Amino acid sequence: SQQGEEDPQALSIQEGENATMNCSYKTSINNLQWYRQNSGRGLVHLILIRSNEREKHSGRLRVTLDTSKKSSSLLITASRAADTASYFCATDANDYKLSFGAGTTVTVRA
């Protein structure tokens, strides 16, 4: 079973637009992470936000975390064609594993 659920399942945007995706989870966490996966390849770590943090930025990425609602959002600003990928949230519940959501597939149109 998966810890997280992501919304939307798929997203299509124009180059230059912003993309927002959401993640909800069920249990208490130590941290929440976001990963990107390009078409059947390995996952690449994007950003980690700890349970005592509310917002974090990394380049064009902005992540928020609301532990009271057990939810997180990932915002990609000024999207590029290279941002076309699947994005996964993953939660660390202090049990030596990450639990991944089902992912959001983002398509950036030129």
Partner 1 sequence: KAGVTQTPRYLIKTRGQQVTLSCSPISGHRSVSWYQQTPGQGLQFLFEYFSETQRNKGNFPGRFSGRQFSNSRSEMNVSTLELGDSALYLCASSPETGRAGELFFGEGSRLTVL
Where do contacts with partner 1 occur on this chain (CB under 8 A)?
Answer: 1-2, 30-31, 33, 35, 40-45, 48, 88, 92, 94-103
Contact 86, 34 (CB under 8 A): no
User: What's the closest the beta carbon of residue 106 comes to partner 1, in angstroms?
Assistant: 16
Whichever of 15 and 56 has its CB closer to partner 1, that residue is 56
Whichever of 15 and 67 has its CB closer to partner 1, that residue is 67
What token pair was written down for 58? 């990394």
d(Cα 107, Cα 100) in Å, to the nearest integer?
Answer: 20
User: What's the closest the beta carbon of residue 14 comes to partner 1, in angstroms?
Assistant: 27
d(Cα 106, Cα 94) in Å, to the nearest integer?
Answer: 30
d(Cα 29, Cα 3) in Å, to the nearest integer?
Answer: 10
User: What's the closest the beta carbon of residue 101 comes to partner 1, in angstroms?
Assistant: 8
